[in-house]
Each structure stands twice: as structure tokens, then as C-alpha cells.
Amino acid sequence: MEATGELPEPHFKVLGNSLLSQIHIHQDYGGVYPMLAKREHIKNLPVLLEKILEEAGGMEGVDVIAVTAGPGLEPALWTGIEFAKDLGEKWKKPVLPVNHMHGHMFSFLFEPSELVKFPALALLVSGGHTEIVLMKSFKDYEIIGKTRDDAVGEAFDKVARLLDLPYPGGPKISALADMHRQKGLASEIIFPRPMINTDDFDFSYSGLKTSVLYTIKKLGVLNEEKKEEIAHAFEDAAIEVLIEKTKRALDKFGASTLIVGGGVSANRYLQERLRGLALELALDLRLPPPALTTDNAIMIGIGAYVAILNHPKILGTTREITAQGNLGI
Ligand code: KG4
Ligand code: ZN
């Protein structure tokens, strides 16, 4: 990827991009299985590198190699780090560790757009994280709320499993929910909205999943229509909490810009509700381009470039890069 320009309006051009999904391998486990992920990374990374170098016409012009250092599954992170370090030595280029969540948070910069007005809020929603970040500038930000148990994407995946839908469940739940919504049928199923009225910006999704489990147990055998109804009721509850908490945080911190990132930001209903919120509050809403919602390498390149612009000396400092499974923002 070629990155030029300064904050707040950097410019990115993708020279080569390739993605190898492991989803079919993890489906039997209903989620990502760490040692399998590691084995697949070791196998796939050289293949991917060859493909992108072919597309980009070689490695000439490469100034820096960016690699995810965390958060995430450490065996998988280590594989990427070792691969990047070897490449750095071979090509004699610096290797820059990038925070996965910075990748999600700055994905919106891929689309050229207007200046961001600070303070801004970032809503980061993925399979491992549900966070509201207060951004005072591009380099001064802090988490003001996060999930106390499951992440929202994780809840989508777990509910999908309860409904016998394959991993990852988010897109499938969303499709079923939309089908039921379009039919306009009344429903008696209403799931709780955990922590919706608490005086903070934290979330909790494990109780919601348990409520879905009890409802499914009570109903017994589910036909397609019941599955759609459950998916609809679950999605309504999960998304409403995100919208309510975000709305309150925007109000409390006087933010008029809302940045969104992470796999769940692909959710059609969440996007619809966010657009509604943007209209209601005259918000500047920044969603990632659709291809950059779920995990991808481009967002890590964007995260690296933002770090370089924020801290120009970063490339000159050598430090040991380690995998940090629980790396904060
Ligand atoms: O950011 P991401 O690709 O990986 C992590 O960093 O976790 O997010 C993956 C999560 C999964 O839980 C997946 O089910 C969810 O994002 N997801 C969705 C949708 N697309 C992906 N959840 C709801 N609706 C979707 N359309
Ligand atoms: Zn992610």
C-alpha cells in the first residue's frame, strides 16, 4: 500500500491486496481455533506475500513493514510477527507493530473525506471487542466504555450457534433478522437490553445470549420462521444498546463526529440505526468502506501510517516486537 499526505487527510492507494479466509477451517469448531489458525497462517503467509508482490510489481519502494502485535490470539499473532521480522531482515526494512483496534478505528480514513471535528467518538464493534473511544485528537484517545463480558460480535456468533447456523454467525443472523423485519409480522419475543440504563458506557452481552438460549429451550423445535423471529428480536436488543449508549456518550462529551469500525459495523441494521442517529443529531458519521469492516491487512497499513504521522521518530526506534494478546487501545 502506498500512503501519502498528512493527517487529517492522508491518501492511500492499494498496490496489492489479497485475503485468504480460514472460515471454512474453523467452522467445525464454531469459532476460531488458535492452533489451527497458527498452522494456516504459517502455510498461507508466503503464498499471500507472493501474490501481492506480483500485483504490486515487486518490493522496490517498500519503506516499512507493518504487522499486527495485538490484541488477538497469541499463537496467530506470533506467526505474523516472526514472518514480518524475517522479511524485515531480508529486505533491510523497519518493522512496525500495529494495534489491531487502531486499524479498525482509522479504517474510515481510507475514503477521502472532510476534516474530523474533535472531540470525536469511535464505536468499535468486533468479535473480540465492544468499545467506545473518546478521541480528543488523532493521537490522544481513551476508552470510556467497553464490554464486561462477551463482545457484541461474539454474541452474534454464539446466538448463531444456538440456531444451528455456521460460523461466523453475524452476517447470517443479520440476514434472518432482515427477512423477518421485511415480513412485518408481530412478535411476542422481546429480549432484555443489558445495561441500557446504567450510568456508564459499558456493555454486557452474555446475559442476552443466555436469554436467547432459554427462549430456544422453551420453544423446542424451531422452524425457519421462528429462527428469523429470534434473530430479529436478538438483533434489535443487541443494536439498541449500542445506539443508546453511543447517543448518551455523544451527548456527554459534546462530540459531533462518530467513527465506527470492526466486523459488526458491516451489520445492515446497525448502519441503518446509525444513519438515523446521524440525521437526528446532525452527526458526522464515518463508517469504514464495506471491504474494510471485517479484519483485513489494509487497515493495519492505515494504522501504521497514522502512527508514523503521529510519531515521526517511531521508525528510528528499535524495540523488540512481541505478541500482546490483551493489548489495550
Ligand atoms: O473485526 P472482525 O472481523 O474480527 C475481530 O476483530 O473480531 O469482526 C468479526 C465479527 C464476528 O463476530 C462476526 O460475526 C461479526 O464481526 N460480523 C457481523 C456482521 N459481519 C461480521 N455481525 C453482525 N452483522 C454482520 N453483518
Ligand atoms: Zn477485528
At residue 29, the pLDDT reads: 77
Nearest of 97, 41, 42 to residue 64 by alpha carbon: 97
Here the CATH number for the domain that contains residue 84 is 3.30.420.40
Shared domain check, 148 and 39: no
CA distances, 85 to each of 19, 160, 214, 286 (Å): 20, 38, 48, 34
Q: Which atom of ligand 1 is nearest to the CA of 294?
A: 3
Atom of ligand 1 nearest to the CA of 151: 12
Count of CB atoms situated within 10 Å of the CB of 188: 6
Inside any domain, residue 321: no
pLDDT at 297: 96
Domain with 280 in it: 114-288
The reply to whether ligand 1 has any atom less than 6 angstroms from the CB of 145 is no
**Ligand 1: which residue has its CA nearest to atom 21?**
263
Alpha-carbon distances of 10 from 55, 96, 108, 244, 283, rounded to whole Å: 23, 18, 11, 32, 22
Residues 14 and 129 placed together within one structural domain of the fold: no
The answer to whether residue 60 is domain-embedded is yes
Q: Which of 21, 126, 146, 293 to mutate to test the pocket of ligand 1 (most atoms within 8 A of CB)?
A: 126
What b/e string do you get for 141-152 counting C-beta neighbours within 10 Å, with b at 16 or more?
A: bebbbbbebbbb
Same domain, 213 and 82: no
**Domain contains 325:** no
Residues 157 and 28 in one domain: no
Is the Cβ–Cβ distance between 300 and 68 less than 8 Å?
yes
66 lines ligand 1 (CB under 6 A): no
pLDDT score for 188: 92
Instruction: Examine the domain organization and report whether 60 and 166 are in the same domain.
Output: no
Residue 154 shares a structural domain with residue 278: yes
Q: What is the pLDDT of residue 30?
A: 73
Averages of pLDDT over runs of 10 residues in the chain (329 residues) are: 94 94 80 86 95 96 97 95 97 97 98 92 98 98 98 97 93 98 94 97 98 98 97 98 98 98 98 98 97 96 97 87 96
